[in-house]
Amino acid sequence: MSDEPLFDLFSFARRGPGDRITLSAGEIVQISRTVSRTPEVVVKVLPRGASSLGAVQAHLGYIGREGEVHLETDDGEILRGKDAGNKLLVDWNLELIEQRGKPNLTSTTTKQPPKLVHKVTFSMPPGTQPDKVHAAVRNFAREEFGLKHRYVMALHTDEPHPHVHLVIRAVSDQGQRLHIKKATLREWRAGFAHHLRELGVPANATQRHVRGETRPRKADGIYRAMSRGESTHLRNRVEVVRGELMKGKWQVESGKAKLLRTREEVRCGWLAVGDVLAHQGHPEIAAQVKRYVEQMPKPLTEKEYVATKLLERTREPRVRKIVMVR
C-alpha cells in the first residue's frame, strides 16, 4: 500500500509562508474520500479478558455464539459447534504459554500476566455487505499475519453494522510477541479500508480529529452497559453534569483548551490543503475542503456532550406538546 500514504494534516498546518508542498496522487484521492464523507472503517482492540485461558475460551464461545456461528482459522478451516474454541486452545498451545507467563513461587512481581491473544473487531456502517466485510478482513489478516501469528475470525450480522471478530495469538510460531500501538491501529485501519476498496466497497481510514470528531469514545464495556441502562460510569457523569446545570455553576474541563487548540490546527491544516489543491489544479476538491471545514461539528468535551444530550432530552416533551396542540 505504498501508494496510499497515511495523511498527515498537521504538517500542512505547521508549514511556513514560503513552504511549497505538493500533494501526491494518493494523498489527493484520500483527501477526496474524506471530504466527500466516504464511510469510515472502525478497528477496535478489546482490552480485557485476554490473559487467562478461561477468558479466552469464553470469548471464543462468545464470537462463535456458542456454536451458532462458525469460526474460520488462518489456514481456511471452518470450525463448527460448541467445542470449536476448545480445539483452538489445544492447537495454539495456549495452556503452555499461560504457564510460562505465570510468576514462580519465589517471585515478588505483581505485573499482569502477558496476553495470550489479541481481540480485535473490524466493522463498517449499516448497509455494507457483510460478506464483503468478511472477505476484506480475511484478506487483511492473511497479508498481515499469514505464516506468523495464528488467528481465527467470526462474522457477526446480528447488529445493524456488520463486523468481524478477529482473535490473534499474541506469540507467533517463531516466538515473536505482537505489540499493538496507536500507529499499528492506524496502519490496520488503512489496510482494512484498502482491502474493502479492492472488493468495490467505498471505505476510508482517516483519524477522528482530522475529521473534526471530538466526541469522547467509551470503552466497549461501558457502551454495552449504556445500551442496557447499567453504566454506573455514565450515570455518575450525568448526575454531575445535571447538578452543575441546575445550580448554574458550570465548570469547564481542563482538556477544553487543548481540544480547541487541536481543532484550530485541524482547521488551519485543511485550509492549507485547500490552497495547495487549488494551486495544483483541483478547484472542485478545494471547494469541497472549504465546505467540509465549515460543516465540522463544534468541538465538545465529554462533559459538554452529556450536557447537550440532557438539554435535548429536556426540550423533547415540549416539542411533542406543541405538535399535539397544533
Q: Average pLDDT for residues 256-261, to the nearest whole number? A: 89
Q: Tell me, what's the pLDDT at 110?
A: 55
The domain locations on the chain are 9-38+257-294, 42-102+111-198
For residue 275 the three cell numbers come to 490552497
Q: Tell me, what's the pLDDT at 239?
A: 80
DSSP classification of residue 276: H
Q: Tell me, what's the pLDDT at 101?
A: 57
- Please name which of 63, 73, 95, 51 lies closest in space to residue 149, comparing C-alpha atoms: 73
Q: Tell me, what's the pLDDT at 3?
A: 44
Instruction: Indicate if the pLDDT at residue 252 is higher than 80.
Output: no
Instruction: Indicate if the pLDDT at residue 226 is higher than 60.
Output: no
Q: Tell me, what's the pLDDT at 82?
A: 85
Confidence band (pLDDT; 50, 70, 90) for 217?
low
Q: Tell me, what's the pLDDT at 104?
A: 53
Contact predicate 194/109, CB 8 Å: no
Instruction: Indicate if the pLDDT at residue 234 is higher than 70.
Output: no
Confidence band (pLDDT; 50, 70, 90) for 324?
very low
**CATH of the structural domain 42-102+111-198, one choice from 3.30.930.30, 3.40.50.10420, 2.40.30.10, 3.40.50.360:** 3.30.930.30
Cα–Cα distances (Å) from 281 to 3, 27, 36, 153, 247, in that order, read 21, 14, 18, 45, 55
Of the segments 105-109, 113-117, 225-229, 283-287, which one has the largest average pLDDT value?
A: 283-287
Confidence band (pLDDT; 50, 70, 90) for 216?
low
Q: Tell me, what's the pLDDT at 2?
A: 41
Q: What is the mean pLDDT of the chain?
A: 83
| Largest Cα–Cα separation, the chain | 78
Cα(21)–Cα(12) distance, rounded to whole angstroms?
Answer: 8
Q: Tell me, what's the pLDDT at 170?
A: 93
Task: Name the more confident of 26 and 122.
Answer: 122
Q: Average pLDDT for residues 24-44, to the nearest whole number? A: 93
Confidence band (pLDDT; 50, 70, 90) for 227?
low
Confidence band (pLDDT; 50, 70, 90) for 29?
very high
Task: Out of 63-72, 129-138, 149-158, 315-324, pick the least confident.
Answer: 315-324
**Count of alpha carbons within 13 angstroms of residue 287, beta-carbon side:** 4
Instruction: Indicate if the pLDDT at residue 14 is higher than 50.
Output: yes
282 CB neighbour count, 10 Å cutoff: 18
pTM value is 0.82
Sequence-ordered alpha helix ranges (H) in 5-83: 9-13, 25-35, 53-63
Instruction: Indicate if the pLDDT at residue 70 is higher than 70.
Output: yes
- Please name which of 145, 147, 150, 52 lies closest in space to residue 92, comparing C-alpha atoms: 150
